[in-house]
Amino acid sequence: MPPYESHELRRGKYAKLDAPGDDDVETPTRFSDDSNGTLEDLEEHDPLAFDSKLKRKKSAGDLKIRKASYRDTEPGGPLPVPRRKSRCALGRCCCWLLVFVAATVLIIASGGIWAYKISVPEDGLSPPWYPSPRGGTDKAWEESYKKAAELVKQMTLPEKVNITTGTGWSMDMCVGQTGRVARLKFPSLCLQDGPLGIRFADNITAFPAGITTGATWNKELMYLRGKAHGKEARLKGVNVLLGPAMGPLGRMPAGGRVWEGFGSDPVLQGIAAAQTIKGIQDEGVMATAKHYVGNEQEHFRQAWEWGLPNAISSNIDDRTLHEIYAWPFADSVKAGVTSVMCSYNQVNSSYACQNSKLLNGVLKDELGFQGFIQSDWLAQRSGVASALAGLDMTMPGDGLRWAKGNSLWGPELTRAVLNGSVPIDRVDDMVTRVVASWYQVGQDKWDDEGPNFSSWTNDRVGKLHEGSPSNHDTGVVNKYVNAQGEGKEAHGHLVRRVAAEGTVLVKNEGRLLPLDRKGWKTSNKAKRRTKYRVGVFGEDARLPHEGINHCPDQSCNEGTLASGWGSGAVNYSYLIEPLSAIREAFDNETVYVTDWVENKLPSQKEILEDQDLCIVFANADAGEGYESYQSIRGDRNDLNLQKGGEKLIRDVAKGCGEGMGDVVVVIHAVGPVILEKFIDMMNVKAVIIANLPGTESGNAIVDVLFGDANPSGRLPYTIAKNEDDYGPGSKIKYLPSPSDGLAPQQNFSEGLYIDYRHFDKQGIEPRFEFGYGLSYTQFALSDLLIEEKGAKTPLPKPRPAGLTPPSYTTELPDPKSVLFPEGFRKVERYIYPWLDSLKGVTIANPAPPPPQSPLSDAGGGPGGNPDLYTTLLSVSASLENTGPVDGSSVVQLYISFPQNYKDPETGESVDFPVRVLRGFEKVHVDTKGGKLVNFELTRRDLSYWDVARQNWVVPVGEIGIGVGFSSRDLPLMGKW
């Protein structure tokens, strides 16, 4: 059976072994895979924990940290507190009743006793992969590893541990910070979100979101956005940026964080991620590919956040993992990413941050990842198991609960090394990976000034250890460094370009767009003598009344929507509203602009009836699961417009010029929305999907409306006619099912068939297909040329041997050396690597390592076997601009593997999607001009993942090649 195919739960029997905390170091190590939590974990649970994550920045006038509320984490809220009676006759009875109720709640919350009865294999459902591969095998990292080894050699055990463990939530300036090794000048690393800008910081840019960037299909812009983001991080003193995000990948259109990534296709995600990573790292900042892997929805993503002790298990089969969800991570590794963040959820019933198959096997062995794996914030659920499974850094250092200072590593990792639970060479590898990554991007050349902003206050002087209840040390924490650039260098120019190119025009009847700044486009003289009347409608056209940063992490949908919410959102330094930009764009000599920028229209009809043109704005928001807005708890509840958007559009269309006025609809959204209620209305002539534009929202939409930017955005997802058309696999699991057992289960049974692959397979007509988008000009393609560049052999060349990783002495240090230095002044709740005493520490050598798991034939280099990246085919085509204006087209290449295929060697039937994206190029062509477009297809592009052979295989038979303008408009077809 393919290793990822079963979906049952693992028995609770081994849970204790992998349970976090002291168990990790006291119990002899077993090299098993991980487990779900135990009932004992319930005691560890802190209902206040999650809430501290919601902390927002303090300033003089805003000194409140959101208070904890049990309702955030406990199912059904707090237990009622019984009124105290003096020893009444019923006292004992009441006590028993209470015990019974409490026990029932505990049992139900822990997944139900029936779950323990489920019979499952001993090693759970995710195969074990041990020992953890050591970094330092890749030529491109050779120098950095050499330097790192020199430094690590000189480190003591506590110094090493300090680098692997965060200092605790809000203990330093950034959302995550590692301990420093001052003696060797290795700094505390600042880790800060995130994918679209620098979170919790001033004077920074809110770039367009990932989904908007994906919609540009412009590789150069993807790179430049990453580079500008990296530059801002550098200026703020951020060592590790927590982005780009490529998971969620978009399996579920309503997924709360789909907007952080680049679109519902692995190739689009992979290319955009790689470009972003190169941009960030070219500025000397470490990038983080997140979230690895299967974190497709917010509901139940995290233990306890949804009232259940265990996170959801994304059950993904081996082929789907390789061809869809891990694909962009392979591209990220190939691009040289220095960090990968493992996700909150479980994968095949094993937490992603302690899943040895995913971390040791796929990421480190098969994909040859040389950097370090960091946990998502509190995604680490065990100490020893996660270390052995390949986790290298725990973030933010806190253990199972927020901000208590009880790390699963820190002193516990030190102890685990001494008592033989974690071999010291595993810790050496963790540290070497981090230090090598630091050298790899050249941070050894930085002055160790650390971050020059505080995540916790806007004041200049603030607490140095915000999270410590008893430490009141203060200092200058905000230096207000302007990272946005000025004048021509201001990053706003780039934001505007990305936002405009990431805007998708999906309907433009009668060429209503582009608009004329002077109003009338008609030659009718009578009309031209009157002023052209324009009405702008909808709350989404204006700024929020309460200010642009009034909701923590942008977790509300008020006013215009320029980003989703959560850790991936930032405070705007400024935000250009569409209404003002539109007003300014029109010539007020000839055009009269009125507005009603609310979603409820006034009873007086004149505001609509008088208009020649109505521009109506509506939106749909979502975000990260720790925050909610109205009834939206992270994931959207449906794919409709929110806040009455559809009704607004319909009413505007009906009333505009008494039903005869032209209507332009502009939608800001976190993902696909259903357009059916208005798309076919006669006077709805233009519809624009403007995604999430970031800080230059208004200017970008004006550029598109008036044709200063010829629309060249293409849909990074399918827009369906009906929500159900996305298929059963696209549905968010909002409630656990009775059959779930210990944790909510989510079976990715649709396999490869997400988004357009599902529509194509099932023959469902979408409203607008993946890759679709209009322009103000027209393009034509011709002259398809397919040239073979490499032999069509099924398998790649044998895996090459890598370099030998550094090694160190495995002698255990003198136990006394791990005690707190004498006279050390501790900051309460700060996480240190030292121990208070050696009480209970039994010095022991580690158990002999388990037999080496077989190395993957698909491995041997960054992103996998280097031969997978050999070009086998070169494809070219001629593109002509046959329309009236200059413009850019996105030429897309899809391949079709043979249908009804039987592998000649194994005899197995292999099912293939109708077509899959394998390349794209955005090409600018002047009107009446032409250009040649080239694609290089690698062996990996032309292969599928063969579960039996555990390798990428080029199928025998013809592979179809389609080149065109969308997944359903492929005028050039050829074969290989």
CB of 817 to ligand BGC, least distance (A): 33
CB of 715 to ligand BGC, least distance (A): 25
What binding mask, one character per residue, do residues 437-456 give for ligand BGC by CB under 6 A, x or -? --------------------
Tell me which residues in 932-971 interact with ligand BGC (CB under 6 A): none
CB of 291 to ligand BGC, least distance (A): 6
CB closer to ligand BGC, 290 vs 433: 290
CB closer to ligand BGC, 244 vs 423: 244
Query: Among the options 72, 318, 376, 946, which is catalytic?
Result: 376
The strand order across the sheet containing 372-375 reads 288-292, 339-342, 372-375
Classify residue 154 as exposed, middle or buried by CB count within 10 Å of its CB (0-12, 13-18, 19+): exposed
Tell me whether the omega of the peptide bond preceding residue 128 falls within 30 degrees of 0, making it cis: no
Residue 180 touching ligand BGC (CB under 6 A): no
Cα–Cα nearest to 432, from 670, 47, 163: 163
CB of 726 to ligand BGC, least distance (A): 24
Classify residue 761 as exposed, middle or buried by CB count within 10 Å of its CB (0-12, 13-18, 19+): middle
Quick one: which of 165, 178, 458, 567 contacts ligand BGC (CB under 6 A)? 567
What binding mask, one character per residue, do residues 460-499 give for ligand BGC by CB under 6 A, x or -? ----------------------------------------
Report residue 175 as tokens.
Answer: 């959302």
CB closer to ligand BGC, 25 vs 692: 692
CB of 733 to ligand BGC, least distance (A): 18
Which residues are CB-contacts of 138 (< 8 A; sequence separation ≥ 6)?
Answer: 368, 370, 802, 803, 861, 862
Residue 376 bears catalytic tag: yes
Tell me how many residues contact ligand BGC (CB under 6 A): 8
Count the helices and strands in the chain (H runs, E runs).
Answer: 23, 29
Quick one: which of 111, 194, 263, 328 contacts ligand BGC (CB under 6 A)? 194
CB closer to ligand BGC, 138 vs 376: 376
CB closer to ligand BGC, 341 vs 715: 341
Angstrom distances, CA of residue 91 to CA of 84, 87, 103, 402:
10, 6, 18, 37
CB of 470 to ligand BGC, least distance (A): 25
Parallel, antiparallel, or unpaired for β 779-788 and 871-881?
A: antiparallel
What binding mask, one character per residue, do residues 363-382 give for ligand BGC by CB under 6 A, x or -? -------------xx-----
CA distance 264 to 730: 11
What binding mask, one character per residue, do residues 60-99 give for ligand BGC by CB under 6 A, x or -? ----------------------------------------
Residue with tokens 């919410």: 565
- Cβ atoms of 285 and 240 within 8 Å: the answer is yes
CA atoms within 13 A on the CB side of 760: 21
Tell me which residues in 617-646 interact with ligand BGC (CB under 6 A): none
Tell me whether the omega of the peptide bond preceding residue 248 falls within 30 degrees of 0, making it cis: yes
Complete DSSP assignment for 830-851: ---S-BS--TTPPP-PPPPPPP
CB closer to ligand BGC, 166 vs 214: 166
Angstrom distances, CA of residue 543 to CA of 50, 134, 645:
30, 51, 17
Give the residue ranges of DSSP H helices in 299-373: 318-320, 327-334, 356
Can you give 204-215 as a three-state secondary structure string?
CCCCCCHHHHHH
Residue 667: beta bridge partners?
A: 618, 689
CA distance 510 to 519: 16
Tell me which residues in 202-261 interact with ligand BGC (CB under 6 A): 242
CB closer to ligand BGC, 175 vs 582: 175
Quick one: which of 234, 290, 404, 668 contacts ligand BGC (CB under 6 A)? 290
Quick one: which of 155, 175, 241, 435 contacts ligand BGC (CB under 6 A)? 175
CB closer to ligand BGC, 242 vs 416: 242
Per DSSP, the three-state class of 202 is: coil
CB closer to ligand BGC, 377 vs 832: 377
CB of 194 to ligand BGC, least distance (A): 5
Complete DSSP assignment for 15-43: HHHH-STTHHHHSPP---------TTHHH
CB of 247 to ligand BGC, least distance (A): 10
CA distance 604 to 608: 9
CB of 889 to ligand BGC, least distance (A): 34
Per DSSP, the three-state class of 312 is: coil
CA distance 89 to 158: 58
CB of 437 to ligand BGC, least distance (A): 17
CA distance 917 to 275: 17
Cα–Cα nearest to 658, from 617, 607, 616: 607
CA distance 694 to 824: 46
Residue 467 CA, chain-centre distance (Å), reads 26
Q: Containing H/E element for 390? A: none
CB closer to ligand BGC, 223 vs 377: 377
CB of 315 to ligand BGC, least distance (A): 21
What binding mask, one character per residue, do residues 709-748 give for ligand BGC by CB under 6 A, x or -? ----------------------------------------
CA distance 306 to 299: 7
CB closer to ligand BGC, 24 vs 260: 260
What are the φ/ψ torsions at residue 174 (nearest 5 degrees)?
-105, 170
Quick one: which of 44, 193, 635, 769 contacts ligand BGC (CB under 6 A)? 193
CB closer to ligand BGC, 175 vs 367: 175
CB of 290 to ligand BGC, least distance (A): 6
Bin 184: left if φ > 0, else alpha if -120 < ψ < 50, else beta.
alpha
Can you give 749-817 as a three-state secondary structure string?
CCCCCCHHHHHHHHCCCCCECCCCCCCCCCEEEEEEEEEECCCCCCCCCCCCCCCCCCCCCCCCCCHHH
Which residues are CB-contacts of 387 (< 8 A; sequence separation ≥ 6)?
Answer: 409, 413, 416, 422, 426, 427, 430
CB of 559 to ligand BGC, least distance (A): 24
CB closer to ligand BGC, 210 vs 711: 210
Residues with a catalytic annotation lie at 376
List interacting residues with ligand BGC (CB under 6 A).
175, 193-194, 242, 290, 376-377, 567
